[in-house]
Copies of this chain bind each other. A is one copy, B any other.
Amino acid sequence: MSDDPLYDRGMKVRREVLGDEHVERAIAATTALTQPFQDAITRFAWGDVWSRDVLDRRTRSAMTLALLAGLGRENELEMYIRAGLRNGLTAAEIGEVFLHTAVYAGLPAGNRALAIARRVLEEEQA
């Protein structure tokens, strides 16, 4: 525990959503270059936003997957697809998120995310 309640709350929620294993790996990989970024996102994304209970985590996961696909931020899709399962989305619902995304962000955005989802979901089911 640090002496910063915002950081501590963020780290707790981040572990619950992304999994202990992922967070341990991220902490172990942190360097002087990436430390300020890691700290700021723990406080803001996890301590300030994801920790609020106005929206449930399943809905937050659906929105996050839609945004990552729509904005073309492919590198975080795998991590958030696994988090989506942890937050209660089924494989079929995750596929549906990307079909829905295609309506608003164009077919290539949905198609690309669905290809990544297919691989990750097959790994999870294996």
Contacts and interface: CB of A to CB of B under 8 A. Distances in A.
B121 A33 contact: yes
Contacts of A96: 36, 52, 54-55
Secondary structure at the A interface, as helix, strand, loop or mixed, is: helix
A60 B67 CA distance: 13
19 contacts: A6-B6, A33-B92, A36-B96, A37-B114, A41-B111, A44-B103, A50-B103, A52-B96, A52-B99, A55-B93, A63-B101, A64-B104, A66-B66, A67-B70, A67-B104, A72-B72, A73-B104, A75-B115, A103-B107
Interface of A: 6, 31-34, 36-37, 39-41, 43-45, 48-50, 52, 54-55, 58-60, 62-64, 66-68, 70-73, 75-76, 91-93, 95-112, 114-115, 117-118, 121
